[in-house]
Amino acid sequence: MKKIRYLTLLCIATGLVALSCTQKSAEPTVVCENGQFVGYVEDNGVFAFKGIPFAKAPVGELRWKAPQPVEASDEVFEAKTNALPGLQSYDEGEVASHGNLSEDCLYLNVWTKDLQMQEGRPVMVWFHGGSYGWGGTIDPLYEGKYLVAEYPDVVLVSVEYRVNAMGFIDFIDVPGGEAFPDAPYLGILDQQQALRWIQKNISSFGGDPANVTIFGESAGGGSVSAHLIAKGSEGLFRRAIPMSGEICLEHTPDNYKTNGQAAKLLAATGCKDMDGLMALSADEILKALNTEAGGRSAEGVGGHVGDFNNWPMRSDERSILPSDGYKAILEGKSKDVDVMIGTVADEIRYWAHLQYDPTDEVGPLAFYYEWAKDKVEGIKKIGGPETARRIDESLKVIDPDSDEWDAKHPGIWKYTQILTEYNFRLGSITIAQNHAEAGGNGKTYMYVFGKGYEKGAIQGEDYMKACHACELTYAFNNLVYESGAPFDPVLTKRFSNIFVNFARTGNPSIEGVEIPQYDATDRSTLIIDRSGEIYVEKNPLPKETGLLLPTYYDFFLKK
């Protein structure tokens, strides 16, 4: 981070004097525990502070170790440039993986309209997605100035954390690995450290540390769910919005052995033990992550070492995350936290996009079709005869829109819906039901987002529908990111308002739509349908839910 020494003479380390400097200077300046940070004014008038360290750099002896708190400082630094994303393998669909990367990645960004502290001013903290293997705050989709411009009473923070083999890897079978017990969930620990930094410093940006909402999508949503049950996350936030991110997005120690990323990393680097891995340069690790490992990853793509990424470990003996997070929620672990959990209607069609090949002579979705069928058979095998029977019954009930793709690959969207259920929707329902039944002061809400891509919006024409991550541009009020695509600006304002209202008060209701709390009796769910209409529906998809939900918990425990 660039230091600005000449300002040290102008501002001393007190919030009052720093605020005075801010008002006299064209550049906003804040005082934090680890220095004074000079941001800039966005083109829409929002103050931006980018690349603020919230922990010591996880390099050298701190590689694969729990994040360490920042040291106190009164030096002055520029905070005008987004930090580089963490080390990760290249992925065509992840913008953050396309440019420069760095092992020194524990930084956050803050957008605020006003540095004056106001009572109850909500803070929204974003954890990016990317299957725990990719992504970064540098992705323009997560640009925060549009949301804060629309809702100037909100302070928005985005957090960089370690991903891929740097953030989630198990060294238990590597000689010397016992010295790195936190390696399977470092990314979650990074987020906790960021939340601790926010508790101490966000008031300098005008935010209320007692009114923090964490939200994230995919792996970011899974991270939010993890914080509901993780040791060390207690008291760091007041509200949570897991978006397409359930407790099932975690691995057991056995899953780690099956994925075998540690063994693949050793093979790619030629190292025999942790001493060898610790001696590698960041460039050598990055090269290894992009080394061919053979086969394909669980997502049906890739085949490089970094593509066999592992998710946070759940284990009663070896993790900050319990083996059964759903049980922890039912027993009241997060009973006083307000939770709004949501999914999109056609989650798994995103993976059709990942595997889309227009040059495939058999058919552009031929590989995805076989992958989806194989995954459904895998769920049947794990779940056992009763699960298999109920899935077969559901395949008769599910009635997706027939299209040219279904004509070429019969049942392709039925298999897709089964995967959406077991990977996202059923887990979300289980979290919502358990949280509501746990009692406490925490409120519970649930939504399903169905407004999807239209014909010609992106590669693959119109088969994507409301796929995984399609709601993000709406949540961030960021139509600029999808310039030229047929997004609905009215829905963008209303959907982002739902998120902001929840962060403000714990009630997501907007003008014209009163959103009731979720309970297992009528399962009232906020629906954003394919036309963009917003309404509440009781017991959505009752046939699929009735058939599959009774099998989900047992499947999760065996998974």
Q: Where are the domains of the chain?
A: 42-68+81-323, 330-558
pLDDT per residue as tens digits for the range 511-530: 999 999 999 999 999 999 99
| Three-class SS of 344-361 | ECCCCHHHHHHCCCCCCC
42-68+81-323 and 330-558 share one fold: yes
Mean pLDDT across the stretch 423-450? 97
d(CA 376, CA 371) in angstroms, rounded, equals 9
Please report which confidence band the pLDDT of residue 361 belongs to, taking 50, 70 and 90 as the band edges: confident
Helix (H/G/I), strand (E/B), else coil: 7:
helix
pLDDT per residue as tens digits for the range 134-163: 999 999 999 999 999 999 999 999 999 999
What pLDDT shows up at residue 296?
79
What interhelical angle do 366-383 and 542-558 show, nearest 10? 70
Query: Are residues 155 and 124 in contact, defined by beta-carbon separation less than 8 angstroms?
Result: yes
Q: Is the predicted pLDDT of residue 448 greater than 90, yes or no?
A: yes
Number of other CB atoms surrounding residue 359 within 10 Å? 5
Question: Residues near 429 by Cβ (< 8 Å), separated by ≥ 6?
Answer: 446, 523, 545, 549, 552
What pLDDT shows up at residue 302?
76
Please report which confidence band the pLDDT of residue 356 belongs to, taking 50, 70 and 90 as the band edges: confident
What interhelical angle do 412-420 and 385-397 show, nearest 10? 130
Of 138, 311, 285, the C-alpha closest to 225 is 311
| Three-class SS of 131-155 | CCCCCCCCCHHHCCHHHHHHCCCCE
Query: Are residues 207 and 200 in contact, defined by beta-carbon separation less than 8 angstroms?
Result: no
Average pLDDT, the chain: 91
pLDDT per residue as tens digits for the range 532-553: 999 999 999 999 999 999 999 9
pLDDT per residue as tens digits for the range 75-105: 999 999 999 999 999 998 899 999 999 999 9
What pLDDT shows up at residue 5?
33
Please report which confidence band the pLDDT of residue 257 belongs to, taking 50, 70 and 90 as the band edges: very high
Q: Which two tokens stand for residue 23?
A: 């008002």
Please report which confidence band the pLDDT of residue 8 belongs to, taking 50, 70 and 90 as the band edges: very low
pLDDT per residue as tens digits for the range 391-433: 999 999 998 777 888 888 999 999 999 999 999 999 999 999 9
d(CA 296, CA 308) in angstroms, rounded, equals 8
What pLDDT shows up at residue 116?
82
Amino acid at 486: P
Please report which confidence band the pLDDT of residue 1 belongs to, taking 50, 70 and 90 as the band edges: low
CA atoms within 13 A on the CB side of 365: 26
pLDDT per residue as tens digits for the range 176-235: 999 999 999 999 999 999 999 999 999 999 999 999 999 999 999 999 999 999 999 999
Quick one: 42-68+81-323 is in which CATH superfamily? Alpha/Beta hydrolase fold, catalytic domain (3.40.50.1820)
What pLDDT shows up at residue 18?
40
What pLDDT shows up at residue 400?
78
CATH level 3 topology of 330-558? Rossmann fold (3.40.50)
Q: Is the predicted pLDDT of residue 13 greater than 90, yes or no?
A: no
Mean pLDDT across the stretch 476-495? 80
- The residue assigned the tokens 């057991």 is 252
Q: Is the predicted pLDDT of residue 17 greater than 50, yes or no?
A: no
| Residue 295, burial from CB neighbour count under 10 angstroms (0-12, 13-18, 19+) | exposed
pLDDT per residue as tens digits for the range 286-315: 999 999 998 877 777 778 999 999 999 999
What pLDDT shows up at residue 20?
33
